[in-house]
């Protein structure tokens, strides 16, 4: 067993090289096998970076912990993008869409720590993928509900009693309200700009009452049940997503 130390600069260089190697496989035409290999490599690299981050947290080195968190988010963004291509090739379009949104959200959070040309290029690339690969959604679901306060993801206390603020980064972790329980659903609105763009319309009915898959426009195996009137369209959609991303 060796006990060699690695400098932050060396870690950063390895990280830069790894991100570049991921970008090489982040195209539709790359083979699915290679993309799966790279995605699995991402998992290992994310775990490695998180282990460095936890060491920085133990030393209370906030700046370094935050930079490792940035790397963690960027690697997760690359992994989500690779997984999105894989799901597209496996005809799992709804999962692919969610992975694209995951990648975009990882980039948004990574930008809280550092903003530079490379991350903005990735942000633009993801936006291009969104507009060229997937259909446009004019409307998304936006639910309103009452809920419990929940706990703080940083200190695990009741969120009402701690001093942490949502969406801020503390020592390499993103503050979120967790363990919230929905008390009562209030409404679901169709909006152009939802908080969660995973809440999409997945099926619609056409003029003949046939149910179409919104991704493929093929007739769906599962029909939307109900009695639609003439000139009315029925939709099937995702009202709420409980996906949690790797921000700890």
Partner 1 sequence: MGITKKEIRAKHIQSKTDGIALLPVNYKDEDNYKYQSTSLSFFKYAKDKTEVAFYTDPEVLYEQRSVEWFGPVILITSSLISQNPEIVSITCGVISSYLTDFFKGQKKPKVSVKVIYKETETEKTTEIEYQGNGEDLSKLQQAILEVAKK
Q: Which residues bind partner 1 (CB under 8 A)?
A: 108-112, 115, 142-149, 159-160, 163-168, 177, 180, 183, 186, 189, 191, 193-196, 199, 240
Q: How far is the CB of 230 from partner 1 (least distance, A)?
A: 32
Q: How far is the CB of 160 from partner 1 (least distance, A)?
A: 6
**C-beta closer to partner 1: residue 25 or 196:** 196
Distance, in Å, from the CA atom of 186 to the CA atom of 200, rounded to the nearest integer, reads: 19
Backbone angles phi, psi at 117, to 5 degrees: -60, -45
User: Could you tell me the CA-to-CA distances from 243 to 14, 99, 102, 147, 196 in Å, in that order?
Assistant: 30, 10, 9, 17, 10
Cα–chain-centroid distance for residue 97?
Answer: 10
Question: Is the Cα torsion angle 85, 89, 90, 94 positive or negative in sign?
Answer: positive
Residue 12 or 120 with smaller CB distance to partner 1: 120
Token readout for 89 is 């090739």
Q: Minimum distance from CB of 93 to partner 1 (Å)?
A: 23
CB of 161 to partner 1, least distance (A): 10
Question: Which is closer to partner 1, CB of 35 or CB of 102?
Answer: 102
Minimum CB distance to partner 1 smaller for 182 or for 233: 182
Angstrom distance (rounded) from CA 159 to CA 136? 37
Least distance to partner 1, CB of residue 111, Å = 3
Residue matched to tokens 């799992």 = 92
- Measured from the CB atom, the residue of 145 and 210 that comes closer to partner 1 is 145
């Amino acid at each position: 067993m060796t006990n060699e130390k690695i400098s932050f600069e060396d870690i950063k260089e390895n990280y830069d090289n790894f991100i570049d190697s991921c970008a090489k496989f982040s195209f539709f035409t790359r083979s699915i096998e290679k993309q799966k290999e790279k995605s699995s490599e991402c998992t290992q690299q994310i775990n490695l970076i998180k282990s460095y981050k936890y060491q920085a947290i133990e030393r209370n080195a906030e700046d370094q912990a935050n930079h490792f968190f940035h790397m963690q988010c960027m690697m997760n963004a690359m992994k989500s993008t690779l997984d999105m291509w894989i799901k597209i090739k496996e005809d799992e379009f709804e999962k692919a869409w969610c992975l694209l949104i995951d990648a975009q959200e990882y980039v948004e959070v990574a930008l809280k720590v550092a903003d530079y040309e490379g991350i903005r290029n990735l942000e633009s690339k993801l936006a291009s993928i969104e507009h060229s690969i997937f259909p446009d959604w004019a409307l998304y679901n936006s639910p309103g509900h009452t809920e419990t306060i929940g706990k703080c993801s940083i200190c695990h206390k009741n969120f009402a009693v701690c001093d942490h603020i949502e969406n801020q980064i503390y020592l390499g972790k993103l503050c979120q309200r967790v363990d919230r329980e929905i008390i009562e659903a209030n409404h679901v609105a169709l909006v152009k700009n939802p908080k969660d763009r995973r809440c999409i319309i997945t099926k619609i009915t056409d003029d003949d009452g046939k149910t179409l898959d919104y991704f493929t426009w093929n007739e769906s195996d599962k029909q939307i049940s109900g009695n639609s009137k003439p000139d009315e369209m029925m939709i099937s959609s995702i009202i709420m997503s409980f996906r949690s991303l790797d921000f700890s």
